[in-house]
Structure 1
Amino acid sequence: MIDVTIDATWWVIVVFVVDIVIRVTAIIIVPRNRRPTAAMAWLLAIYFIPLVGVFLFLLIGNPRLPRKRRRKQRDINEYIHDTSASLDFGTLRPDAPAWFTSLVTLNRNLGAMPLAGDNGATLIADYQESLDAMADAIREATRYVHVEFYILQSDAATDNFFRALEEVAARGVVVRVLLDHWANRGKPFYKQTLRRLDAMGAHWKLMLPVQPLKGKYQRPDLRNHRKLLVVDGRVAFTGSQNVTDSTYNLPKNIKRGLHWVDLMARIEGPVVASVNAVFLSDWYSETDEILTDEIDLFSVESGPGDLDCQIIPSGPGFEFQNNLKLFAGLLYAAQQKIIIVSPYFVPDEALLLAITTACQRGIHVELFVSEEGDQALVYHAQRSYYEALLRAGVKIWMYQKPYILHSKSMTIDDEVAIIGSSNMDMRSFGLNMEISMLVRGEEFIDEMRKVEATYRSLSRELTLEEWMRQPLRSTVLDNLARLTSALQ
């Protein structure tokens, strides 16, 4: 009996000491180079559920890519910055506001891409029309086609896209394809898609593969969320849409009748070189192949327009959150109107402050979100911000179900816009590799206004009075989801 008591006492002492060591160590390690909100969320998880909290922190607690990949990104940035420094990227529009010029400098310093003039850009808001427009552009290829999408599926909706790839590959055009590993694995048509790429002779690679047995591993929820297509360095597409059916072929979406609504831009002109540079950098990161000897990256031609465009890549391979800094800068620069479209809107403190401050400065601010969510945690975390936004004066438009408004854009006054793959949430700022395009030009804003008007006609306005009638259980769930959103 005495021995058992002594053993039990020692076990209690050991557990107590281990618990203290974990807590002290967490205080030292967790807050380092981490936002206070994220650090606090991790510390709360570790303190209240130590075993689970420590396991999750070891699994997903590092929001950065492996050192080797970050070094590659720095090398790529230096190459792009130095090579393009003295090149002509078209004639820029006159009379740019000082704030626009300073933001261009910010983007150049963080993401390396230059501002380019003489570009043409056309918006495509219809889902199937976008897929078919990309297929038409592919069929005009004579040298190469670069395809990079977060989700890439060969299905009935995308068959024309894949047939176009097969046709050009058959006549000797080089087809290179990048698709995100984690987003596609286990999804419908995954294996069929890879077999089709193999059959056509495409060079394809998985982005950010989580394959520890093959020596390929990083935090599993670090994802390459970019969507882009480049044809011969002459035409490019980028925006929010994946290459898949508008239901994503998922039974749960089909059962609920959900369809995705997206926005893509078809681009011609010098800025296409920057879109291509993003692809080549990701190709190099995944394959170690340098294609700049084969492809004259910055051999550019004027496009059918005079838009000023700049590509902003962002993600955990960069030192800073390039997209967040740009978005915050634009919000503070606005003088008249801000219209934001974001399916997943979970801002950090800086972005929320910028938006509410804009309202207090007398700026008209509108936010488009979906009435129905497809990702429960993000959906409820997003809802937790509605009261503060409504009280500040933001007009919230809820795109009516069963459609998921998946477009990602922002317009500032009547002169500048952003379109791309980046949501306004902490995942897109810190964990996802994204691509955004900054555009200056009234004609492009006019197109954006037409798209926004269509969204407005298909949405209903959420009022503060309606929101305050939410049941208590919804408020509790929203606030709990908000806490988990900070775990980065």
Structure 2
Amino acid sequence: MDPSGIFTWIQAQFPGWVAITLLVIDAIVRIVALGTVGYRRKPTAALGWLILIFMIPFVGIILFLFLGSPNLPQRRREKQHEINERVKSATGHRAIIGASDHLPLPLSTAAQLNYELGALPMVHGNSFELVSDSVDCIEQMTREVRGAKRFVHFEFYIVTLDDTTRQLFDALIDAHRRGVEVRILIDHLGSLGYPGYRSLVKLLDSSGLLWRRSMPIRPWRGEYQRLDLRNHRKILVVDGDVAFTGSQNIIHPSYNKASNLRRGLLWKDLMVRCTGPVVDELDAVFASDWYSETDDPLLGEIDEDLDIPEEATGVLAQVVPSGPGFEQENNLQLFTHLIYNANREIVISSPYFVPDPALLTALKTESQSGVDVRLYVGATNDHWIAGKAQESYYDELVEAGVRIFQYHSPTVLHAKFILVDDEVTVIGSSNMDERSFSINHEVSLFIVDEEFTQRMYALEREDFRSSSVPLDTAAWAERSLLRRYAENVCRLGSALL
């Protein structure tokens, strides 16, 4: 509605002085928004907010005040900075620990970039096992917890009690009873609303073990931050010896919802079982989140565990934390750096592919330069708006030569990884969207190893490629105008999803 239309409507509804006051407020809201919404914000996100504020000024500005700031509360940011400095001190202020002469320049600079952004160094001496079956992964985690002797650190986004996960929580409670220090972090709004969450809360409360809601929204208890800031990380660390991380939540693969069961939906994830120094780095990420929620920094553990010896054997890897506790978008900067330095091929799997302009440009540039770029997305998406926003990018990706593969229904593709050339893998919790880049706390593993990366390519061929259908570009070009309209509307709001 243009200003003259608003003025006419207000005049018809209210006395003259009220109408003028409301019109002045409306104009002030719009003018102030123009000069403030874009401050240190991506143009895409600023545009989304401005469209909302200009269409429905009063509702839009209220939503912006509650959801518009991507920053954590000041105290949380201070805690993250404190942990970062402690980690850098414990690791001797080195971006790479151990021999690095063999690293190509683009990869050594990537390690330096990640260190500057996330404080954790690249380290040798690691080994990794892929776990692609969700139920099997929970069983493996349960076995590790049953053997725990010192501590278990558990941090996941969606966590519920059901027939699949009960064994893991029984093992955690048993470990607590035999004297193991068990600490549990569960994202509050991420888990709230899923069947089995309330039962889990009752079980954990009655068990006596240490657990906290991550990023809680309980203002009546003084717990509040921006509503849509979430802790999306997935980490399990046992005794500092073994860790699991990746894309999987702690819930049955159907996510226990009746609508999913009716449709036969099952989530497909990818986890990594880790040993070596990266276990301590993952534990440092857990420690920073535990500190944010409890004021217990676990600093003694960080100082001891991150005293990493120099090695020249084993897999070279680096943990990359990202999220609103950091000054920049750590994961996005790593992704674009690696993509721009690709020479032959790039493979991406992401359930929510809604790239920002920098990532989109990088992929198109590499594809048009002759690099084989393959993108795996789900044919089925559990978020309609995000799915339509994702589809709005297909035309320009295909025109640039990117090959898009849709993982078959009713499986919901949830695995998140990037492969670059022969020896680079990035795998973790991060999607390829604005939410994962700037709003969610995420964690990724940056692995430089030809043997592991070839295992990932084998998984791509034997599972992802065989279970996917290439996007039919001819049929896609003939989709209806109504569908295109929906895609474009969802794309405009994608930065706010």
Instruction: Tell whether the structures are fold-level matches, with TM greater than 0.5.
Output: yes
Instruction: Check whether the contact 2:353–2:433 (CA below 8 A) recurs between aligned residues.
Output: yes
1:382 aligns with 2:386: no
Query: Offset at 1:68?
Result: 1.1
1:478 aligns with 2:484: no
Deviates more, 1:341-350 or 1:24-33: 24-33
Helix, strand or coil: the match of 2:33? helix
In the alignment, what sits opposite 2:293? 286
Query: Offset at 1:109?
Result: 0.4
Instruction: Check whether the contact 2:91–2:308 (CA below 8 A) recurs between aligned residues.
Output: no
The 5 Å alignment of 1:83-232 reads 83-85=90-92, 91-92=98-99, 95-232=102-239
Taking a change above 3 Å as real, the CA distance of residues 302 and 153 of structure 1, as seen in their structure-2 partners, is farther
**Whole-Å separation in 2 of the counterparts to 1:455 and 1:305:** 31
Query: Offset at 1:183?
Result: 1.0
Return 5+ residue gaps in structure 2 as ranges.
1-10
Residue 155 of structure 1 aligns to which amino acid in structure 2?
D
In the alignment, what sits opposite 1:263? 270
Residue 221 of structure 2 aligns to which amino acid in structure 1?
K
In the alignment, what sits opposite 2:321? 313
Instruction: Check whether the contact 2:291–2:297 (CA below 8 A) recurs between aligned residues.
Output: yes
Query: Offset at 1:8?
Result: 2.5
In the alignment, what sits opposite 1:335? 343
Return 5+ residue gaps in structure 1 as ranges.
none
Query: Offset at 1:299?
Result: 4.7
Q: TM-score, normalised by structure 2?
A: 0.94
Measured against aligned partners, the alpha-carbon deviations of 1:332-379 in whole angstroms (never above 9, x if no partner) come to 010111000000000000000000000011100000000011011111
Instruction: Check whether the contact 2:91–2:307 (CA below 8 A) recurs between aligned residues.
Output: no
**Whole-Å separation in 2 of the counterparts to 1:90 and 1:313:** 18
In the alignment, what sits opposite 2:472? 463
Query: Offset at 1:383?
Result: 0.4
**Whole-Å separation in 1 of the counterparts to 2:93 and 2:329:** 27
The 5 Å alignment of 1:444-459 reads 444-453=452-461, 454-459=463-468
Measured against aligned partners, the alpha-carbon deviations of 1:150-200 in whole angstroms (never above 9, x if no partner) come to 011121111221222123222111110000001112321112112222343
**Whole-Å separation in 1 of the counterparts to 2:202 and 2:448:** 42
Query: Offset at 1:232?
Result: 0.6
In the alignment, what sits opposite 2:432? 424
Instruction: Check whether the contact 2:435–2:495 (CA below 8 A) recurs between aligned residues.
Output: no
Superposition RMSD in Å:
1.9
Equivalent residue in structure 1 for 2:423, among 411, 415, 418? 415
Equivalent residue in structure 1 for 2:50, among 32, 43, 46? 43
Query: Offset at 1:301?
Result: 7.5
Instruction: Check whether the contact 1:119–1:302 (CA below 8 A) recurs between aligned residues.
Output: no
1:323 aligns with 2:331: yes
Residue 470 of structure 2 aligns to which amino acid in structure 1?
E
Query: Offset at 1:18?
Result: 1.1
In the alignment, what sits opposite 1:360? 368
In the alignment, what sits opposite 2:448? 440
**Whole-Å separation in 2 of the counterparts to 1:8 and 1:49:** 22
Identical columns (%): 44
Query: Offset at 1:265?
Result: 0.3
In the alignment, what sits opposite 1:55? 62
**Whole-Å separation in 2 of the counterparts to 1:302 and 1:142:** 27
Query: Offset at 1:410?
Result: 0.3
**Whole-Å separation in 2 of the counterparts to 1:99 and 1:118:** 21
Taking a change above 3 Å as real, the CA distance of residues 234 and 354 of structure 1, as seen in their structure-2 partners, is same
1:28 aligns with 2:28: no
Query: Offset at 1:86?
Result: 6.1
Query: Offset at 1:297?
Result: 2.5
Helix, strand or coil: the match of 2:121? coil
Taking a change above 3 Å as real, the CA distance of residues 90 and 139 of structure 1, as seen in their structure-2 partners, is farther
Taking a change above 3 Å as real, the CA distance of residues 470 and 308 of structure 1, as seen in their structure-2 partners, is same
Instruction: Check whether the contact 1:223–1:433 (CA below 8 A) recurs between aligned residues.
Output: yes
Taking a change above 3 Å as real, the CA distance of residues 287 and 371 of structure 1, as seen in their structure-2 partners, is same
**Whole-Å separation in 1 of the counterparts to 2:446 and 2:346:** 15
**Whole-Å separation in 2 of the counterparts to 1:180 and 1:487:** 20
Taking a change above 3 Å as real, the CA distance of residues 139 and 372 of structure 1, as seen in their structure-2 partners, is same
Helix, strand or coil: the match of 1:293? helix
Query: Offset at 1:113?
Result: 0.3
**Whole-Å separation in 2 of the counterparts to 1:233 and 1:369:** 34
**Whole-Å separation in 2 of the counterparts to 1:196 and 1:335:** 52
Helix, strand or coil: the match of 1:34? coil
Query: Offset at 1:41?
Result: 1.7
Query: Offset at 1:464?
Result: 1.9
Deviates more, 1:39-48 or 1:346-355: 39-48
Q: How many residues align?
A: 484
